[in-house]
Amino acid sequence: MFEDLLSSGKFPFCSLFSGSRYSGRMYAATEVANSLGAGLDGTLILSDRNNSIDIRAALNLYRKHRNDSAAALLKRVVLTFLKQFHGALLDSQSQAGKRKFSDAGEAMDLLSGLSSLKEDDVPKWADSMEKALEKLYPSPNTQAVTIGKIRDIRRWCSEYSADGKVKVIIIEGIENSGESVSNSLLKILEEPPSDTYFILISSNPGRIGQTILSRVRHFVFPDMSEAEKNRILTSLFVNPDAYKDLKSFFLTMSGTDDALLLRSAQILSTGKKPDVNALVQELEKNRTWSRFYELLTSEIRDRYNEGKINERKCSYLTEQIERMVSKASSFNQMNRLTFDFVLFRTLEVLS
């Protein structure tokens, strides 16, 4: 998709990669950064995705297989996460936040030893890495993209680079931040600094302000094909037939009880109350709130297609769920409050 643009030196300074969660958007963005010559120090990531699922999955896969393919996947997902602790973002951090940046250095040191590990050392190393990374995961109500971080990015972009090194800023989830954050980013995109590239990643580009959209080149990533999913999982020495898609592989390998989430969504979509205690325990443990809402809206639409829910109820519920999930992301509402609202409203409409 990008080979000609990169080889001709015409890759856009501001671009948008849109698509679903496992369509390869972040992988492509980091590969573009490498191709542009940004390297580790020159690449900064802000992201509101739940990195813990991918990281736990990659750690568990490496514990199980301990081969080069598993090691490469683990290194990539951990590095993607650790690039959110770039030194350029340090100024806007609280004292607690600055401690996390120090802890990120510990995780980076552990990662540097991955290639020289002996097989017998893998379990202990993986446990140490897991503990180091757990200290870095954000609390449920922490906003990934803030005005303070955008200001840090603006200062970093304005700094003169003696070696002319390229800088790449990857921002995922700008649509879930407030208007003031978007306006702050817009001021940079209006006059992007030289040798600096911005890549926005979004699952819902329609919620990004038109003033920002008018300044980016939009690349749409289609959902991953069955053949591509099979190729990736086969390269990891995983049976591709065991997983519906890449998302189910990461969820299952991470220890997430996706079957419980699906079963609960199916029960709730019939107007009945699932085992709320078991469901909430799973959601809090693995931070899979968005996955449950995705399954629930899918089940509601399936019941509409089967003629079991009328169009008015289907449209109302899916819009309510999407609105509340969006509001929770934008205004840092507690996940449990959002869940309680979705549960109550769904039962009220479908019972």
* Per-residue pLDDT, 160: 63
Whether 200 is in a domain gets the answer yes
- Verify that 280 and 199 share a domain, yes or no: no
Comparing 198-207, 305-314, 315-324, 339-348, the range with the smallest average pLDDT is 315-324
Examine the domain organization and report whether 57 and 111 are in the same domain.
Answer: yes
Task: Answer yes or no: is 247 within a domain.
Answer: no
Among 220, 240, 272, residue at a domain's last position: 220
Same domain assignment for residues 171 and 315: no
Mark out the alpha helices in the chain (DSSP H runs). Answer: 3-7, 25-36, 51-65, 68-82, 95-112, 122-134, 147-158, 179-190, 210-213, 226-235, 246-253, 258-268, 276-286, 289-305, 311-331, 335-350
Please indicate, yes or no, if residue 240 is contained in any of the structural domains.
no
The verdict on 138 and 275 lying in the same domain is: no
What is the pLDDT, as a whole number, of residue 5? Answer: 87
Summarised one tens digit per residue, pLDDT across range 21-40 is 899 999 999 999 999 999 88
Q: What is the CATH number of the domain that holds 26?
A: 3.40.50
pLDDT for 28 equals 95
Cβ–Cβ under 8 Å, residues 347 and 154: no
Specify the pTM: 0.83
| Burial class of residue 228, CB neighbours in 10 A (0-12, 13-18, 19+) | middle
Q: Answer yes or no: do 276 and 216 share one domain.
A: no
Write the burial class of residue 314 (CB in 10 Å: 0-12 exposed, 13-18 middle, 19+ buried): buried
| Count of domains forming the chain | 2
Per-residue model confidence (pLDDT) at position 328: 66
Long-range residue pairs from 268-273, CB within 8 A, at least 24 positions apart, any chain = 268/296, 268/299, 268/343, 268/346, 268/347, 268/350, 269/296, 269/299, 269/300, 269/302, 269/303, 269/346, 269/350, 270/303, 270/350, 271/346, 271/347, 271/349, 271/350, 271/351, 272/351, 273/343, 273/347
pLDDT per residue as tens digits for the range 150-183: 999 999 988 766 567 899 999 999 988 888 899 9
Residue 112 in any domain: the answer is yes
**Shared domain check, 280 and 179:** no
How far is CA 334 from each of CA 134, 312, 337, rounded to the nearest angstrom?
20, 28, 5
Q: What is the pLDDT of residue 72?
A: 95
CA distance 32 to 200: 13
- What are the tens digits of pLDDT across the range 105-126? 999 999 999 999 998 999 999 9
Say which residues have a Cβ less than 8 Å from residue 40's Cβ, sequence separation at least 6: 79, 83
Residue 331 has pLDDT above 70, yes or no: no
List, in sequence order, every residue forming a beta bridge with 16; answer none if it has no partner: 200, 218
Instruction: Read off the pLDDT of each residue in 34-54 and give the average, rounded to a whole number.
Output: 91
Residues 38 and 90 in one domain: yes
pLDDT per position as a tens digit, 87-98: 999 888 888 788
How confident is the model over 184-237, as pLDDT tens digits?
A: 999 999 888 888 999 999 988 988 999 999 999 999 999 999 999 999 999 999
Q: Are residues 52 and 113 in the same domain?
A: yes
Asked if residues 149 and 177 have their Cβ atoms less than 8 Å apart, the reply is no
Q: Can you tell me the distance from the alpha carbon of 144 to that of 172, in angstroms, rounded to the nearest whole number? A: 9
- For residue 2, being part of any structural domain is answered with no
What confidence tens digit (pLDDT) does each residue in 66-85 have?
A: 999 999 999 999 999 999 99
Within a domain: 236: no
Range of the domain at 116: 7-220
| Statement to judge: residues 276 and 187 lie in one domain | no
Does residue 225 fall inside a structural domain?
no
Please give the Cα distance from 348 to 317 (Å, whole number). 10
Find out whether 277 and 271 touch, Cβ atoms under 8 Å.
no
For residue 140, pLDDT beyond 60: no
Domain boundary residue, one of 162, 194, 220: 220
Residues 315 and 194 in one domain: no
**The pLDDT value given to residue 163:** 60
pLDDT band at 145 (very low <50, low <70, confident <90, very high): confident
What percent of the chain clears pLDDT 90, i.e. is strictly above it?
Answer: 64
Instruction: Give the pLDDT band of residue 47 (cuts 50, 70, 90).
Output: very high
Mean pLDDT along residues 320-340: 75
197 with 143, same domain: the answer is yes
pLDDT at 288 over 90: no
Residue 195 is assigned to a structural domain of this protein: yes
Q: Same structural domain for residues 200 and 52?
A: yes
